[in-house]
C-alpha cells in the first residue's frame, strides 16, 4: 500500500485519478490542508512507518517559488522520522519551481484553450489589473477543465496527455 500526503483537495483528486489510471491498486491520499506537516500529520506518518502494510509514504507538495527551500523545509520537518519508506516529490516535475497547475498546463491535450486563457490574463494585466500568479494558474486549470466540455471545474484525465514527457517523473515516482 502507498500512503500519499498532499496539500489540498484538488491534488488528492488528481492523484487518486492518476493512481487508478496507473493501476496502483492500494493507495490512500490524504490532503493536509497546506504545505506544512502538522504535529498530527507527523504522528500519522510515524504510525505509517510502523505499519507493515504500508510500503511507501509519499509526500507530494508544490515546489512553489523555491524548489530547494521547499524540499529542505520538508526534510527538516521529517528529520526525526528518517525512514526509507518516506519519499518526497515536488510539483511540477520534482526539479523546477511552481505548482501542480504548471504540470497540468504542460500535459494539456488541448493547448489552444490554455493559450486563450493566457491571452485573457495578459489583457487584464495590460489594463492594469494586479493578478496573483498562483491563483491565476488555478483558475486557468478550472477554465481549461470547463472548456474541455466537462461542464465542471473538476479534473478529468481524458483531457490530459499521460504519455507526455513532463509527467514521466511523477509516474516513475508513483510506480517505484
**Confidence band (pLDDT; 50, 70, 90) for 157?**
very high
**Confidence band (pLDDT; 50, 70, 90) for 149?**
confident
103 φ/ψ sector (left φ>0, alpha ψ -120 to 50, else beta): alpha
Are 2 and 42 within one domain? yes
Residues 6+ away with beta carbon under 8 Å from 17: 155, 157
Ranges of H-type helices in 23-99: 39-50, 67-77
Q: Whole-structure pTM over 0.85, yes or no?
A: yes
Are 143 and 171 within one domain? no
On whether residue 153 sits in a domain, the answer given is yes
Q: Say if residue 152's pLDDT is above 80.
A: no
Three-state secondary structure call for residue 34 = coil
Are 52 and 120 within one domain? no
Q: Higher model confidence: residue 128 or residue 154?
A: 128
On whether residue 103 sits in a domain, the answer given is no
Domain that holds residue 135: 108-159
Amino acid at each position: 500500500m502507498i500512503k500519499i500526503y498532499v496539500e489540498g483537495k484538488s491534488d488528492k483528486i488528481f492523484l487518486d485519478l492518476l493512481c487508478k489510471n496507473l493501476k496502483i491498486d492500494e493507495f490512500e491520499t490524504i490532503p493536509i490542508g497546506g504545505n506544512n506537516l502538522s504535529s498530527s500529520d507527523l504522528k500519522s506518518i510515524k504510525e505509517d512507518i510502523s505499519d507493515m502494510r504500508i510500503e511507501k509514504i509519499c509526500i507530494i507538495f508544490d515546489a512553489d517559488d523555491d524548489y530547494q527551500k521547499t524540499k529542505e523545509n520538508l526534510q527538516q520537518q521529517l528529520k526525526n522520522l528518517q525512514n526509507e519508506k518516506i519519499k518526497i516529490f515536488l510539483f511540477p516535475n520534482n526539479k523546477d519551481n511552481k505548482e501542480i497547475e504548471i504540470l497540468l498546463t504542460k500535459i494539456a491535450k488541448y493547448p489552444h484553450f490554455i493559450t486563450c486563457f493566457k491571452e485573457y490574463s495578459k489583457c487584464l494585466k495590460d489594463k492594469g489589473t494586479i493578478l496573483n500568479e498562483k491563483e491565476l494558474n488555478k483558475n486557468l486549470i478550472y477554465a481549461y477543465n470547463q472548456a474541455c466540455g466537462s461542464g465542471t471545474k473538476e479534473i478529468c484525465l481524458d483531457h490530459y496527455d499521460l504519455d507526455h514527457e513532463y509527467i514521466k517523473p511523477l509516474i516513475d515516482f508513483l510506480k517505484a
